[in-house]
Amino acid sequence: MGFSNQLKKARLNMHYTQQQVADLMGITKSTYCGYETGKRKPDVAKIKKLARILNTSGDVLLETGLGDNLEQNGEFVAYMLMDKYLTEYAKKIYSLPEEQRQRVYGYIDSLLELE
């Protein structure tokens, strides 16, 4: 579904307008709309604040699935953080617009199916 769609879904579940969320965030409506359309990427602090305002978690907004199995995922996250290449790739992929990010995920899926 992607961050943008998850964000919009969470906002609608709370019955907030874009302007209301922007006001609670202390940002302009234009900036907030950029988050929902995927044209802008909030930093980690803003994602945490959005999660609090929208009564959800950053994991849900980012669709990490980390809440599903904390022990197993904790080990995975530790591995990811220790592997500098994976961390750098993750940062680069996250900075891409949603459409390009989905394309990269497709390439990765295709490569993994070859093994």
Q: Which domains does the chain have, with CATH numbers?
A: 3-62 (1.10.260.40), 73-113 (no CATH)
- pLDDT tens-digit series, residues 4-48: 899 999 999 999 999 999 999 999 999 999 999 999 988 888 988
Give 103's DSSP letter. Answer: H
- Please give the pLDDT value at position 29: 97
What is the structure's pLDDT at 62?
81
**What's the rounded Cα separation, in Å, for the pair 104 and 18?**
29
What are 44-82's pLDDT values in tens digits? Answer: 889 889 989 999 888 788 876 655 554 555 566 666 666
Region 84-97: mean pLDDT is 83
Residue type, 27: I
Q: Are 90 and 82 in contact (CB under 8 A)?
A: no
pLDDT of residue 59: 77
- Minimal CA–CA distance to 21: which of 43, 46, 54? 54
Residue 66 confidence (pLDDT): 55
CB 64, CB 3: distance < 8 Å: no
